[in-house]
Amino acid sequence: MTVKIIEAPADLKFDIFWATSDNAKLFRDNRYAKEVLGYAPQDGVL
């Protein structure tokens, strides 16, 4: 996630993103971070 934020589009000046693992029972939704930054969790639990 840190690399994705550093490489964020230049026009993105401020935002808040959830960065959680890809768990079967997600408490938070990562969809927005994926759409804006291309974030994809690398691991998770069942």
Give the three-state DSSP class for 19: coil
Question: What's 11's DSSP letter?
Answer: T
Q: What's the total number of domains in the chain?
A: 1
Give 1-46 pLDDT, tens digit per residue.
Answer: 889 889 999 999 999 987 777 777 767 778 888 889 988 887 777 6
Name the pTM for this structure.
0.65
Give the three-state DSSP class for 35: helix
Is the Cβ–Cβ distance between 41 and 30 less than 8 Å? yes
pLDDT at 21: 78
